[in-house]
Amino acid sequence: MLPPGDAAMHVAKVLLESGHETYFAGGCVRDRLLGLEPTDHDIATSARPETVASLFPHARGVGAHFGVMLVPSGGHMIEVATFRSDGAYEDGRRPSEVSFGSAEADAQRRDFTINGLFEHPGTGEVIDFVGGRDDLDAGVLRAIGVPEDRIEEDRLRMLRAVRFSARFSLEIDPSTREAIIARSDRLGGVSRERVGHELRRMLGHPTRAIAAAMAESLRLDVSILGTGRVEGGLKRLELLDDQADWIDALTAWELDRGTAEAAGSPARLTEALILSNRELVDLEALLGIRQAILGRWTESSLAHRKRLAGRPQFARSLAIATVDESELCERVEAEFHGFRAEGLSPQPLIGGDDLLDAGLQAGPRFKAILDATYDAQLEGRVQDRASALEHALGLAGESGPGE
Ligand code: ATP
Ligand code: MG
């Protein structure tokens, strides 16, 4: 497996040596100029898709219609796109027709000047048709061309502006900013999948609180989250760990906005962001555990506290709850560490089969007896199989056989 930069260089060299104008393009040029390690290395070239396919027999067309090919190289898939000048946009998303064009036209169709840079793979020279270098140096995020038009072509660019601006600490240029604010209620025309995908990237990054504040100041929050307008702090979001999952960030943001616990919130977010089942389970667990910690940790039985601490989202939920009651949460955290040292969620000492073997008949009381016995185990009142069984049979006896 080659380093990704070398893998892309190999592909670029083959294209160059076959006489095709070829550049590294977009994010990887930007990232390198910022001194960051690029995540992906996209190539833009004058070679048509069929030429790319003939030079690289294992290349695959992804959206070949748009001139994009994936070329395997050194264990990576390198995106190779033919220079194009996109035609009219239909649904604010995909160009209805694609026309191949010059490198300059290809730069002009990109969203922001910082994303419109090319780099010559042989010489390392940066080719800048859009003033992206100056904007990078000055810390400015600016739409290429007329901001109103560029946003009308693809309204998702409003969210991309927020993401790039937060991630690279860029000021949004005033005319781009005004164009966004004037259209902030028009994100509705963009598919929820695309909005959700963009938000995942935004909230998955350590600059999430900056991005959220910016989204609110540009009035994009309403159409992202499907709520009314809210103003307030972002304390929970700011305090999250850099590594926090995006769903934790969404939960924190919703709590900061005071909209998390309204009836129907999980359904609203599922619809607005196309949450997966897993994400929805996480969101609901994070909220529910937080409630249980803040509402009744101190009064709860040891077994109940241990059961709660054994839930997979416990630590993440506790981190979000800390803003509300820091002293309580410090105590909870200490207790949690104690529980963990003893082993969270031990295997139950007995199960339903043991009750059947002991002559009980399966019935509605089974689960309650097993639950109560597990509580006794968590609290150390029974320590082994025999005492657990004795405890269970005692409970069964109280309610009559088989009941
Ligand atoms: P990241 O590191 O977050 O992936 P990136 O700049 O590579 O940043 P991508 O979404 O991967 O962003 O897109 C690659 C390039 O394609 C961008 O740099 C930009 O030039 C162009 N691009 C992507 N999405 C759009 C869009 N919606 N409108 C115009 N140009 C776009
Ligand atoms: Mg990218």
What pairs with residue 30 in β-bridges?
none
Does the pLDDT of residue 70 top 60, yes or no? yes
For residue 347, tell me if it sits in a domain: no
Say whether both 266 and 286 belong to one domain.
no
- DSSP per position, 310-355: TSTTHHHHHHHHTTT-HHHHHHHHHHHHHHHHH-SSPPPS--HHHH
Residue with tokens 């969404």: 250
Which of 114, 131, 148 terminates a domain? The answer is 131
- pLDDT by residue (tens digit) across 142-201? 999 999 999 999 999 999 999 999 999 999 999 999 999 999 988 878 999 999 999 999
* Å from CA of 201 to ligand 2 middle: 11
Residue 403's pLDDT band, with cuts at 50, 70 and 90, is: very low
At 90 the pLDDT is: 45
* Ligand 1 binding residues, C-beta < 6 A: 26-27, 39-40, 42, 110-111, 115-116, 154, 156-157
Domain end among 342, 376, 391? 342
CATH number for the domain harbouring residue 189: 1.10.3090.10
Residue 66: pLDDT over 50: yes
Ligand with the closest atom to the CA of 36: 1
| Shortest-distance ligand to the CA of residue 24 | 1
Residues 269 and 284 in one domain: no
Do 223 and 108 share a structural domain? no
> Is the domain of 270 the same as that of 284?
no
Give 130-150 pLDDT, tens digit per residue: 999 999 999 999 999 999 999
Give the chain's mean pLDDT.
93
Mean pLDDT over 323-333 rounds to 97
Over residues 243-268, the mean pLDDT reads 96
Query: What CATH number has the domain bearing residue 47?
Result: 3.30.460.10
pTM of the model: 0.90
Once rounded to an integer, what is the mean pLDDT over residues 259-283?
95
Residue 371 belongs to domain spanning: 352-399
Share of the chain above pLDDT 90, in %: 85
Task: Answer whether residue 229 shows pLDDT above 90.
Answer: no
* Residue 401: predicted pLDDT: 47
Report CA(112)–ligand 2 centroid distance (Å).
13
Look at the chain and report how many structural domains it folds into.
4
What is the residue whose two structure tokens read 């050194």?
74
Tell me which DSSP letter residue 89 carries. B
**191-222 burial string, b = 16+ CB within 10 Å, else e?**
eeebbbebbbebbbbebbbbbbbbbbebebbb
Q: What ligand 1 atom has the least distance to the C-alpha of 160?
A: 27
